[in-house]
């Protein structure tokens, strides 16, 4: 219950159930992509009562403690009771003990203990990440979370944002290189040496367009491999050392594919710009030759 909602008691109203900030947006967004199941540690009667107050439209499915295993006084959630392929189940929970049998599938969020905290963005921050899993075509969440290198939700969101930022920065640098080549060709007719050998005054496709989509993907992968790993999470699971090379995860592959497609589209646009530029230059040269011929006549 501290994952999606909190409870508060007062003498006048008794127990009240309060949605975590972002709950409605979270459920609405993800129910378009996922089969959402509320798996509670409470009995079925209590679950029904709670869900009637926070999910009156019945968007979600419900499971209570009868679908879990009781061991040493602890309620342990088991994915086998879900009647789904365990690899395709993603668990969002606040209690490490209740998901110890399915930790490989779990993202842990901070418990929603204080219902007076209105600026909690835990659920809203998860939405882009969980949507990316779907667009990526993830069919094995255990592997996807292993690629991210953490089971802590805040760290997973931070890792996703960092990787996405790396891809965008690589694309921005590639675009700047292409634009720089175009400007050099227009403003200078003198060969120059930028440390990579002499550059011709004639515009090359590389000057106009920049790197190819394949080069962008390769540069992005190299950039990602040099990323500084996040510190240990509160499970004390060892993270890769700075010298270790990160494996290319499915999520990163998806992002690179998307950026490569964008890069290819930009290449086509720049090629058209180059053609127009060359046509204008040719027309200008022809006009100059015609004017010179008329003067000689």
Handedness of CA 119, 9, 97, 64 (dihedral sign): negative
CA distance 252 to 227: 13
Residue at a domain's end among 148, 183, 202: 148
Is a pLDDT exceeding 90 seen at residue 269?
Answer: no
Same domain, yes or no, for 135 and 228? no
CATH code at position 95: 3.40.50.1000
- What are 215-268's pLDDT values in tens digits? 444 544 444 444 433 333 333 344 444 334 444 455 556 666 666 676 677 677
Q: Is residue 9 part of a domain?
A: yes
Handedness of CA 289, 294, 295, 296 (dihedral sign): positive
Q: Is residue 81 part of a domain?
A: yes
Same domain, yes or no, for 142 and 26? yes
Q: How many domains does the chain have?
A: 2
Same domain, yes or no, for 142 and 158? no
Same domain, yes or no, for 78 and 128? yes
Q: Please tell me the number of Cα atoms within 13 Å of 211 on its side-chain side.
A: 18
Q: Is residue 274 part of a domain?
A: no
Structural domain harbouring 238: 153-267
Residue at a domain's end among 88, 117, 148: 148
Report the mean per-residue pLDDT for the chain: 75
The pLDDT, as a whole number, for residue 231 is 35
Helix (H, G, I), strand (E, B) or coil at 81: helix
CA distance 152 to 110: 9
Same domain, yes or no, for 211 and 107? no
Residue at a domain's end among 94, 125, 148: 148
CA distance 125 to 92: 13
Same domain, yes or no, for 29 and 138? yes
Beta-strand relationship, 5-10 and 74-77: unpaired
Q: Is residue 293 part of a domain?
A: no
Same domain, yes or no, for 14 and 133? yes
Same domain, yes or no, for 176 and 259? yes
Q: Is residue 278 part of a domain?
A: no
The pLDDT, as a whole number, for residue 262 is 67
Q: Is residue 273 part of a domain?
A: no
Same domain, yes or no, for 114 and 179? no
Same domain, yes or no, for 110 and 170? no
- What are 36-83's pLDDT values in tens digits? 999 988 887 888 888 887 888 888 888 888 888 889 888 899 998 788
Q: Is residue 103 part of a domain?
A: yes
Burial of 168 (0-12, 13-18, 19+ CB in 10 A): middle
- What are 146-175's pLDDT values in tens digits? 999 999 999 999 999 999 899 889 888 888
pLDDT-derived band at 278 (thresholds 50, 70, 90) equals confident
The pLDDT, as a whole number, for residue 258 is 66
Token representation of residue 256 = 């690179």
Q: Is residue 209 part of a domain?
A: yes
pTM of the model: 0.59
Same domain, yes or no, for 211 and 94? no
CA distance 193 to 196: 7
Same domain, yes or no, for 26 and 117? yes
CA distance 122 to 137: 24
């Amino acid at each position: 219950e501290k994952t999606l909602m909190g409870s508060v008691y007062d003498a006048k109203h008794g127990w009240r159930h309060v949605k975590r900030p972002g709950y409605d947006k979270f459920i609405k967004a993800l129910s378009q992509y996922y089969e959402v199941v509320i798996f509670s540690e409470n009995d079925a009667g209590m679950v029904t009562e709670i869900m009637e107050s926070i999910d009156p439209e019945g968007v979600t499915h419900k499971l209570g403690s009868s679908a879990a295993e009781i061991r040493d006084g602890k309620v342990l959630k088991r994915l086998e009771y879900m009647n789904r392929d365990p690899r395709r189940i993603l668990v969002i929970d606040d209690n490490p003990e209740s998901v110890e049998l399915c930790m490989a599938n779990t993202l842990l969020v901070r418990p929603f203990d204080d219902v007076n905290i209105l600026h909690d963005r835990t659920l809203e921050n998860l939405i882009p990440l969980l949507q990316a899993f779907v667009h990526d075509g993830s069919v094995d969440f255990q592997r996807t979370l292993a690629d991210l290198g953490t089971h802590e939700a805040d760290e997973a969101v931070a890792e996703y944002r960092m990787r996405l930022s790396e891809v965008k920065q690589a694309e921005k640098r590639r675009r700047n290189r292409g634009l720089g080549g175009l400007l050099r060709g227009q403003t200078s007719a003198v060969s120059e040496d930028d440390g990579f050998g002499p550059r011709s005054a004639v515009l090359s496709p590389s000057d106009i367009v920049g790197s190819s989509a394949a080069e962008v993907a390769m540069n992005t992968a190299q950039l990602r491999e040099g990323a500084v790993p996040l510190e240990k999470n509160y499970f004390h699971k060892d993270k890769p050392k700075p010298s270790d090379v990160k494996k290319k995860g499915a999520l990163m592959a998806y992002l690179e594919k998307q950026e490569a497609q964008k890069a290819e589209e930009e290449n086509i646009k720049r090629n058209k710009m180059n053609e127009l530029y060359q046509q204008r230059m040719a027309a200008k040269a022809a006009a100059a030759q015609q004017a010179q011929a008329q003067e000689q006549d």
